[in-house]
Amino acid sequence: MAASNTNPGAGAPSDPPARLLSAAALQDRLEEEVSRAERQGSELACMLVMIENLEELAASHGQQLRGQLPRYLAGALESELRRFDAIGLAGEDELLVVLPGADSTRAEVVARRALERVRAIKIEVQGARTPLHTAVGLAAWQDGMSAGEVLDSARAAVRASSAGTANGDTSF
């Protein structure tokens, strides 16, 4: 299995990117940022990226892909983030990007850049390339929202995004 961007055959890393947070650490970070936004009256947005065809890819290209692909995707997205943004595993097929100080407009800019990176990823196994299908949802924290509500809002946006694309192309 190889994941490729513009350089076909580039191998997917087996180690997660340095900043990839576990689900528990991600939840802690999101709660910390919600608390900071409440105290300071600052903006906070999140971007949830769901790998829609992870099950299909794992079934056809090997179960080891199930663990490797989210980490590879996080590494690709990491280059589009600021140093103080956080990225972590929100679920087996979900990555959450926490964007402190970002309003919905800024989050959309980040999402568009991330989409460009994601669209370039193809999974290559024994010479056959399969596109990576993702859905992206954005959520902006509003006064009174908990960390769980922000994540639920991002998941609802992903569901709406996914339902709006019949061809499995990346969208938000």
Q: Which pLDDT tens digit goes with each residue over 48-67?
A: 999 998 888 888 878 888 88
Instruction: Say how far residue 110 (Cα) sits from the centre of its chain.
Output: 11
DSSP 171: B
- Give the global pTM: 0.83
- As a whole number of angstroms, the distance between CA 170 and CA 131 comes to 10
- 120 pLDDT higher than 50: yes
Are 170 and 119 contacting, i.e. CB atoms less than 8 angstroms apart?
A: yes
What fold is seen in the domain 2-163?
Alpha-Beta Plaits (3.30.70)
**pLDDT level of residue 165 (50, 70, 90 thresholds):** low
Domain ranges of the chain: 2-163
**CA-derived radius of gyration, the chain:** 16
Q: What is the pLDDT of residue 62?
A: 80
